[in-house]
Amino acid sequence: MKMVSIATLVAVLAGAVAVAVIRPGAAHGSAPPSDRTVTVSGTGTAHGAPDTALFTFGVNTEGATAKATLAANAAEMRRVIAALLRTGIARADIQTQDVSVYPRTTESGRVEGYSVNGSVTAKVRRLARAGAAVDAAVAAGANETSGPQFDRSSRSELTRHALDDAFADARAKAETLAKDAGASLGQVRRIDEATQASQPVPIYSAALAEKTPIEPGTQDLQATVTVTFSLA
């Protein structure tokens, strides 16, 4: 009887070990991810009109001494800044860009006077007033101007739209390639992205006008994503 009982116990233990060995494999359920992948790039573009413009206005002044020339330049810059403020530009949107003092010399190296350059940047948030701002600054004494640099305050919204389109483009390409390879598209393994905004080119009229024409045009923001999918 004891021998029969021991044999029975050994059989039961062997069955338990077998179950213990089998269960871990069954517990994983799904198959491990495939080592096969496909990597594609997709592009998307979002369009929007700029709503701000940045200009630089400067005054170059010449004089006999550094002190007198600097004082004269400062007076002229104050007139330019006051003119910009009168057009509706906020003081917080006007920033000093440069104040430079340097001697003017002859070919022999003798100092014959001094030049001072002062400049400010001005951000115009109402583009309908951009031309008036340029005219006011020049009328007040600005003899150096540059700009505009257009921008959009809600650029992040354009970026999201462009990224959505870029990812959809990448997925569509990947699905086509997976189908051609006799596979199905799996999970995303990796995403790399890049965005780039194009600068609209303003159109200036050569003809005399009541105010300088500033055309903001349309700003395009392009996004590119490179996505790696697994293949099932």
Domains annotated for the chain, with CATH where assigned, are: 29-49+155-231 (3.30.110.170), 52-151 (3.30.70.2970)
- Does residue 26 surpass a pLDDT of 90? no
Kindly list the strands in the beta sheet with 111-124, ordered across the sheet, starting from the edge strand earlier in the chain.
Answer: 94-105, 111-124, 52-63, 144-151
Q: Which of the pair, 11 or 232, is modelled with greater confidence?
A: 232
For the CA atoms of 149, 152, 155, 158, the dihedral, rounded to the nearest 10 degrees, stands at -110
Tens of pLDDT, residue by residue over 62-90, are 999 999 999 999 999 999 999 999 999 99
| pLDDT value of position 171 | 95
Which of 114, 113, 109, 147 shows the shortest CA–CA distance to 131?
A: 147
pTM of the model: 0.61
- Does residue 128 surpass a pLDDT of 50? yes
Average pLDDT of the chain to the nearest whole number: 82
| pLDDT value of position 197 | 63
| Percentage of the chain modeled with pLDDT above 90 | 61
How far is the C-alpha of 83 from the C-alpha of 88, rounded, in Å?
9
| pLDDT value of position 215 | 79
- Does residue 195 surpass a pLDDT of 80? no
Rg (CA), the chain: 35
Tens of pLDDT, residue by residue over 147-193, are 999 988 777 888 899 999 999 999 999 999 999 999 999 999 999 98
Q: Show the tokens assigned to 223.
A: 């996004």
pLDDT band at 17 (very low <50, low <70, confident <90, very high): very low
Q: Residues 198-207: what's their mean pLDDT?
A: 42
How far is the C-alpha of 196 from the C-alpha of 166, rounded, in Å?
13
pLDDT band at 206 (very low <50, low <70, confident <90, very high): very low
Q: Hey, which residues does 115 pair with through a beta bridge?
A: 62, 102
- Does residue 101 surpass a pLDDT of 80? yes
| pLDDT value of position 218 | 79
| pLDDT value of position 33 | 54
pLDDT band at 115 (very low <50, low <70, confident <90, very high): very high
pLDDT band at 142 (very low <50, low <70, confident <90, very high): very high
Cβ proximity of 213 and 131 under 8 Å: yes
Can you tell me which residue has the tokens 């979002």?
A: 46
| pLDDT value of position 35 | 82
* 3-state secondary structure at position 103: strand
| pLDDT value of position 152 | 83
